[in-house]
Structure 1
């Protein structure tokens, strides 16, 4: 009898379709469940109780973490764990928990006000990157090279309507390239190096930048092992910066897109995820 798994997401993208298509090969039956339709919180959870596991693929970190928390409290296995999703949803929390665990992360400052921002510029010097504490896919990430422009950029931050939108990290600019490691369980199943293309300096994989497959690198493996030791086994996109002093963890995505990494490396990521689900349910 097939194990029943729900992909909890706000939409079905290429990655979700591939998982659903390949599931029967691994004795799994996967349904898409809209993350807006669960209405969890009562004494029972009929919308998820019929599933053996939930695979959280919500693009919204907030939704994913809240759903994972309630599903876990109802006894339904969740991938990734609620703790891991809550750590990933907030760039500051992630940096803090990884740094406390000895995992190397970039230097940064939390800017909650213009005074914070000015102090961060004094501490770090230019160029710096200004990024929102909440958010992903490279959105609202700004490279500041010029002191004359810095305060004009921060004017836009102050005009945002909510305090959580105004919370930002300021960090040194570490170059235009990054490494994306697709982790399943504890294993790096694919790794690619992304470089910024054209006028856009950002190397985020979601922006479709140029990439090349990355061979096994023991140093990368050591850093990723540290991430998984802290967050627990799961499915992650771990983004690293390469620096002269070693690799630093930039971000960890709890519901990573992998089409770009798969096309670059040829890795069979859906099969790896299906096997991980099998092992979780064993």
Structure 2
């Protein structure tokens, strides 16, 4: 039974994927008041009255739209998951790297270069092979594993021709000699709920690129690293990507704010229900805080 102060919840999305449908199913089954906001209809006026929601589950695919929606709703006093601050950090690979380094989370050596010439020097300092990533992006798009300076120059020439100013900046990361897999840990409300291996024939192991998923034991070390990475990037709901290095250690690559969990759910079958835990810890977590405020 949901309390009388159950948070009025909105789900913001421009596409109804597996994840959004599951969240709506859980909200409905628990009797939590909810509405769906189609991102394509959103407009914010500076002097608008506050929206009628206590919580917005921000499921917008576009990081830019998700960020500005979060900024607007938060300015009106609405709690947004994930927050604008988390999206700003997790949505930018260099900001993520800086946050991880500040918290002494093990992560591969990386560099940001503002010009192609500086990028070539940074790559030499990191050592080939080097991974070139767009500062903003997901699903492994425009990520290149470069064996030498000639390959780097070719990709940098392509990046220089792109219209976006961000595309002209080079984020370089040392390649980690790993097995044919990486690890994704999902963290909800500060607590890791499980881990999965993502295995691929290629060096990129994104589920969106066809990687297969299997359950991974959530060891104490894995859980601690993932929880710290989520906390330091401000993500209430986080997909933390890690790799095992040649010495058996763990390194955090990225923290994702727009978490897709279809592959994770398939890997864990009925043992873990991600949507249930999101509602329990993030939606009803708001409910519990509201109850305390009403009773105070």
The Cα of 1:213 is off from its aligned counterpart by 0.6
Alpha-carbon distance in structure 1 between the residues aligned to 2:209 and 2:35:
28
Structure 2 segments unaligned to the other structure (5+ residues): 289-296
The Cα of 1:245 is off from its aligned counterpart by 6.4
Q: Where in structure 1 do 4 or more consecutive aligned residues deviate above 4 Å?
A: none
Q: Report Cα offsets for 1:211-242 as digits up to 9, x if no partner.
A: 22111211111111212332346111111122
Alpha-carbon distance in structure 2 between the residues aligned to 1:84 and 1:208:
27
Q: 1:127 aligns with which of 108, 126, 129?
A: 129
The verdict on how the C-alpha distance between 1:77 and 1:247 changes in structure 2, with shifts beyond 3 A counting, is same
Residues 195, 203 of structure 1: 8 Å contact kept: yes
Q: 1:271 aligns with which of 271, 276, 279?
A: 276
Q: Report Cα offsets for 1:1-60 as digits up to 9, x if no partner.
A: 5643111122111110111112123231332212232212422246xx112210011111
Residues 20, 29 of structure 1: 8 Å contact kept: no
The verdict on how the C-alpha distance between 1:45 and 1:141 changes in structure 2, with shifts beyond 3 A counting, is farther
Match of 1:157 in 2: 159
Q: Please identify, of 250-259 and 99-108, the stretch whose mean Cα deviation from structure 2 is larger.
A: 99-108
Q: 1:180 aligns with which of 179, 184, 195?
A: 184
The verdict on how the C-alpha distance between 1:242 and 1:30 changes in structure 2, with shifts beyond 3 A counting, is farther
2:122 aligned with 1:116, yes or no? no
Secondary structure of the 1:102 match is coil
Residues 56, 78 of structure 2: 8 Å contact kept: yes
Q: CA RMSD in A?
A: 1.8
Equivalent runs, 1:126-145 vs 2, <5 Å: 126-145=128-147
Alpha-carbon distance in structure 2 between the residues aligned to 1:96 and 1:233:
15
Residues 96, 233 of structure 2: 8 Å contact kept: no
Alpha-carbon distance in structure 2 between the residues aligned to 1:171 and 1:50:
44
The Cα of 1:131 is off from its aligned counterpart by 0.5
Alpha-carbon distance in structure 1 between the residues aligned to 2:78 and 2:258:
18
2:247 aligned with 1:242, yes or no? no
TM-score, reference length from structure 1: 0.92
Alpha-carbon distance in structure 1 between the residues aligned to 2:229 and 2:150:
38
The Cα of 1:269 is off from its aligned counterpart by 0.6
Equivalent runs, 1:60-99 vs 2, <5 Å: 60-99=62-101
Match of 1:253 in 2: 256
Alpha-carbon distance in structure 1 between the residues aligned to 2:35 and 2:122:
47
Q: Please identify, of 228-237 and 110-119, the stretch whose mean Cα deviation from structure 2 is larger.
A: 228-237
Structure 1 segments unaligned to the other structure (5+ residues): none
Alpha-carbon distance in structure 2 between the residues aligned to 1:41 and 1:206:
36
TM-score, reference length from structure 2: 0.88
Alpha-carbon distance in structure 1 between the residues aligned to 2:231 and 2:152:
38
Aligned length in residues: 278
Secondary structure of the 2:193 match is strand
